[in-house]
Amino acid sequence: MPHLACYAAKQMKKASLFLVLFALTLAGASTPPQLNGAFRRPEKNGWIFVHLQGQPAQIGFQHGYLLAPEIEDFLRITRVSLPHDSGKSWDFFREAARTVFLPHVETQYREELQGIVDGLNAHGVHADLIDIVILNALPETSPYYTEWYDKHHPLLSAAAHPRPVPEHCSAFAATGSYTRDGRPVIAHNNWTDYADGARWNIIFDIVPSAGHRILMDGPPGLIHSGDDFGVNDAGLVITETTIGYFHGFDPDGIPEFVRARKAMQYATNVDEFAAIMKEGNNGGYANTWLVADMHAGEIGSLELGLKHVTLERTKDGYFVGSNFPANPELIRDETNFPAADKGISSNARHARWVQLMEKNKGRIDLASAQRFLSDHFDVIDKKNEPSERTLCGHIDLSARGSNPWQPAYGPAGAVQNKAADAALALRMSFNAAMGHACGISFHAAQHLQQHPQFGWEKDILRDLIASPWTTFAAASGPQQ
């Protein structure tokens, strides 16, 4: 079992590197000057909390330096999974990052990305700017850009096997007569491959030199959340779910990861958020965005296609997301979404969201949000059974898989959860639970033994342990 020995050695190296990092963080005089004010806390219930502050290049350096082992690991698994899923080489994605995405990254975020590289290099991890751009553009590179590329280069893409849009996430936002105190409540769980999801465990507390302070979740190496749950000090909470079966991309547009980070950093209300997300929209990682303005008591839903954009808002009602498009014109022109098929994951989860919102009208609070994200009721079979059709997604337990994204028993589903009410968000805080909110853990070795067709993941797939809900808040020091 040589690969297990190798894995154990890497884990020991990672643990040793963390101890060095943590010791250096506490010993201020011994750290590089770029780390002044930054720190990393020990892992807590599966999460790693980092505090970053300063100018863009400084924030990036802190990010790269303090999360060096995690970024190195995330790059390692991406170099395996991205070519496997897309059928294209790592060099193909490097060229896309260099020629399509990087030229449209504005200066402040280019400096932050380069800072991550500098921090990694200072800690002995070899990576360059293009590697980090690939990580940041990951959600919009495949399949959005790859599908566009294949369409415009048919002779070069004759053997292409396009990857469908992954169905990421379930979410809701409610306010007014639907919540217990009349103020907004918002929650989200991230659906992705378990190989990625087990590493989607960073809590970023970012104090930039310009714009708002941000508290958000994300994987290591990204300047945006990636699954886009975050709160800023203007009292805005932002999240999203992808638009399923979507097709469209503009290579001359601004990358989604730039707009998502900029909106979280600079928006103070629903209108400003929508304006930033729409400007230069490239169609990559097309989402239905849910926004809660805790000061105004207002929630919004921005369905952001490439050709069709719809913004709705209310101070008394709810919006839900589970990868279903709503605008009939968007469905017609930009997707091949099977709206009439009630049994697909997105439609079944949509129906369950509506049930829960109406059944709990007037009583929705933080505890309700956490309960909703652990829900296993299948509206099709009318029973509690975890699968791709339940809000707490377990594609790995389903003989149906989740077409067209995942085959039967695909190791994917809900990997972590976040929730906030007004009281938490206005204190720059939210609750988070790593793993499935229901408490069911995923064990990689057992799953691969039962389903050897996923053996290609043996060196990147790891356990996804369900952990308790934990409150995280913007911090003033490295104490736990």
The reported pLDDT for the residue numbered 24 is: 47
**Fold adopted by 2-33+55-152:** Penicillin Amidohydrolase; domain 1 (1.10.439)
CA distances to 173, 181, 343, 412, 438 from 384, in Å: 24, 30, 15, 19, 12
Q: Is 154 helix (H, G, I), strand (E, B) or coil?
A: coil
Residue 268: is it exposed, middle or buried by C-beta count within 10 angstroms (0-12/13-18/19+)? middle
List 39's β-bridge partners, or say none.
Answer: 51
Find out whether 352 and 391 touch, Cβ atoms under 8 Å: yes
Indicate where the chain has its CATH 3.60.60.20 domain(s). 170-473
Pair of tokens at residue 337: 């979404």
Cβ within 8 Å of residue 444, ≥6 positions away:
194, 411, 461, 462, 463, 464
**pLDDT band at 11, cuts 50/70/90?**
very low
The reported pLDDT for the residue numbered 339 is: 94
**pLDDT band at 343, cuts 50/70/90?**
very high
d(CA 257, CA 304) in angstroms, rounded, equals 14
Find out whether 50 and 202 touch, Cβ atoms under 8 Å: yes
Whether the predicted pLDDT of 345 surpasses 60: yes
Residue 308: is it exposed, middle or buried by C-beta count within 10 angstroms (0-12/13-18/19+)? middle
Whether the predicted pLDDT of 385 surpasses 80: yes
Phi-psi map region of 219: left, alpha, beta (phi>0 left; psi -120 to 50 alpha): beta
- Per-residue pLDDT tens over the stretch 310-337: 999 999 999 999 999 999 999 999 999 9
Whether the predicted pLDDT of 306 surpasses 90: yes
Q: What CATH number was assigned to the domain covering residues 170-473?
A: 3.60.60.20
- Per-residue pLDDT tens over the stretch 166-218: 888 999 999 999 999 999 999 999 999 999 999 999 999 999 999 999 999 99
Does this model's pTM top 0.95? My answer is no
Nearest residue to 386 via CA among 402, 404, 370, 367: 402
Taking residue 233's Cβ as centre, other Cβ atoms within 10 Å add up to 16
- Per-residue pLDDT tens over the stretch 45-99: 999 999 999 999 999 999 999 999 999 999 999 999 999 999 999 999 999 999 9
Pair of tokens at residue 357: 């919102």
Find out whether 438 and 466 touch, Cβ atoms under 8 Å: yes
- Helices 107-122 and 129-136 pack at an angle, to 10 degrees, of 120
Type of residue at 254:
I
**Degrees to nearest 5, angle at CA 257 with 255 and 262:** 100
d(CA 80, CA 83) in angstroms, rounded, equals 6
Residue 363: is it exposed, middle or buried by C-beta count within 10 angstroms (0-12/13-18/19+)? exposed
Indicate where the chain has its CATH 1.10.439 domain(s). 2-33+55-152
Whether the predicted pLDDT of 26 surpasses 50: no
Cβ within 8 Å of residue 312, ≥6 positions away:
300, 301, 319
Nearest residue to 100 via CA among 141, 161, 45: 141
